[in-house]
């Protein structure tokens, strides 16, 4: 694999942990674009990503994975298009404590449908310690309806090991021969 080929996109609703996940696995100081929140986001956290997050994960000396995080709010959907250009895979983070995470899943599948036609998907469900449902089976059942069977994990976005598991699962679905 050549370095510039490995661009991975992190998407998902506000507060799912995209910025946190990239900070957790990046081998460089991540580039963040946080602004003080003034919308509904305030119920969940003080700041929110307004352009992108960027980090780099070195899998080994030759394999560099560029990590791009997107803003969660729909008004930033133009950034979703810009950032997903050239991406080889999508990591979708879902937050189990949001009002309707299954609807979130449906929404983001639709928003990133062009990318998902050509690139694989991996799903990470966060905050399952706070709320255990929907279960992974519930998400899988919805995805099955769209004829999709992506890997789904319960993760802690602050854990380097957990987030790395998502990235490796994604790379593995692109190239099953990849040794992890």
Partner 1 sequence: MREQMLKSILSDLNGASADIEASAIISSDGLTMAALLPQDVDEDRVGAMAAAMLSLGERTAKELARGELEQVMVKGDNGYILMSYAGKDAVLTVIARREAKLGLIFLDAKRAARNIAEIL
| 156, 126 contact by CB (below 8 A) | yes
Check binding of 79 to partner 1 (CB under 8 A). yes
**Both tokens assigned to 5:** 């080929």
Q: How far is the CB of 51 from partner 1 (least distance, A)?
A: 4
**Which of 15-23, 45-53, 113-121, 162-170 is the region at the interface with partner 1 (rule: CB under 8 A)?**
45-53
**Taking the chain, what is the end-to-end CA distance rounded to the nearest angstrom?**
13
Binding string to partner 1 for residues 46 to 65, with x set by CB under 8 A, is what? --x-xxx-------------
Check binding of 107 to partner 1 (CB under 8 A). no
Helix-strand-coil split of the chain, %, nearest 5: 40, 20, 40
Check binding of 35 to partner 1 (CB under 8 A). yes
Check binding of 76 to partner 1 (CB under 8 A). yes
| 17, 91 contact by CB (below 8 A) | no
**Which of 30-38, 117-125, 136-144, 150-158 is the region at the interface with partner 1 (rule: CB under 8 A)?**
30-38
- Rounded distance between C-alpha atoms, residue 53 and residue 67, angstroms: 8
Check binding of 41 to partner 1 (CB under 8 A). yes
**Both tokens assigned to 99:** 């009002």
Check binding of 81 to partner 1 (CB under 8 A). no
Sequence length of the chain is 180
What residue has token string 């050239």? Answer: 86
Footprint of partner 1 (CB under 8 A): 31, 33, 35-39, 41, 48, 50-52, 71, 73, 75-76, 78-79
């Amino acid at each position: 694999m050549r370095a510039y080929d490995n661009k991975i996109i992190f998407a998902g609703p506000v507060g799912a942990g995209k910025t946190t996940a990239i900070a957790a696995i990046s081998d460089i100081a991540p580039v963040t674009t946080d602004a003080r929140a003034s919308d509904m986001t305030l119920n969940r956290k003080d700041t929110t990503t307004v352009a992108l997050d960027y980090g780099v994960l070195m899998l080994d000396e030759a394999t560099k994975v560029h990590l791009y995080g997107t803003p969660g709010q729909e008004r930033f959907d133009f950034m979703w298009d810009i950032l997903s250009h050239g991406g080889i895979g999508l990591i979708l983070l879902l937050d189990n404590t949001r009002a309707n995470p299954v609807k979130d899943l449906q929404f983001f599948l639709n928003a990133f449908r062009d990318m998902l036609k050509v690139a694989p998907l991996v799903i990470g469900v966060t905050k399952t310690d706070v709320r255990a449902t929907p279960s992974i089976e519930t998400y899988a059942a919805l995805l099955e309806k769209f004829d999709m069977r992506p890997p789904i994990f319960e993760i802690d976005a602050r854990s380097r090991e957990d987030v790395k598991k998502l990235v490796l699962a994604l790379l593995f679905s692109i190239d099953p021969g990849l040794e992890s």
